[in-house]
Structure 1
């Protein structure tokens, strides 16, 4: 899913706590930011800043929350964890790829969600995991 010239037709974002710089690659094969388990075979990203903000806010770790502007280096598809299960039609513009994402910049200023909304989201994820739900394919 790329524009005809081989470059993405929009900006894409990835939220994390990792400290990266332009030119670095984000790739599949690492653990999820949200749950324990085996390494993921996909790298996730979004066409909306809000979805990336959630990614940064929910990411585990001690680093600063960061939003990177990313460029897919290969093919990507709609993220079925959201588009098939939660938001038909992909309004969150959520995607995944088995090819790396190249960091092209960082969003330096962004406004996060209210603390109570983050708490509620984390509690919801913990509840799903306690029930044995697979929230990430």
Structure 2
């Protein structure tokens, strides 16, 4: 069982109790809430029904690097304010289990801190990721292999 400050989460298939991270280029403050309902960073024509996060700080760093916008890449420590689940877009669909430790929620995520010492991509690695994402856009059934 996983506890939040505001609710008890009853997801038994979730592997992590936290800490959790969200990568973005948005300039946020402790106490701010991240919510679903915004455009996808990867497919801007899609409005997201969930907010995504991970238990891997460098995974959040990758998301921050790949996020749309001109802001500074940031990784925030977040607390789910409601129930959440393994991200079905990667769990058992593209990878067995949840090795990316990725999650999603329709509830808000509360910013509780910021991490500054995550591993940043080299320019070469960033270009490879952008190519992978372009391939996914061209072929929605493509699998990202790191």
Task: State the TM-score, normalizing by the size of structure 1.
Answer: 0.89
- Hey, which of these two has a bigger chunk of helix by percent? 1
Long gaps (5+) in structure 2: 10-15
1:87 aligns to what? 95
Q: 1:134 Cα shift?
A: 6.6
- Spell out, residue by residue over 1:44-88, the C-alpha distance to the aligned partner (whole angstroms, 9 max, x if none): 000011210110111010000000000000000000111122221
- In the other structure, the counterpart of 2:39 is 31
Query: Residue 38 of structure 1: CA displacement?
Result: 2.8
Task: Tell me: CA distance 1:4–1:20, structure 2 relative to 1, closer, same or farther (3 Å).
Answer: closer
1:2 aligns with 2:10: no
Aligned length: 134
Tell me by how many angstroms 1:28 deviates: 0.3
1:17 to 19, 25, 30: 25
CA distance in 2, matches of 1:26, 1:73: 10
Q: Could you say what secondary structure the match of 1:125 adopts?
A: helix
Normalised to the residue count of structure 2, the TM-score between the two structures is: 0.84
Superposed CA RMSD: 2.0
Kept after mapping to 1: 8 A contact 2:58/2:118: no
Query: Structure 1: which 4+ aligned runs deviate by more than 3 Å?
Result: 3-8
- Aligned counterpart, 2:116: 108
Q: Which structure 1 residue ranges, 5 or more long, are not aligned? A: none
Deviation, structure 1 residue 126? 0.7
Verify the 8 A CA contact 1:2 1:75 in the aligned structure 2: no
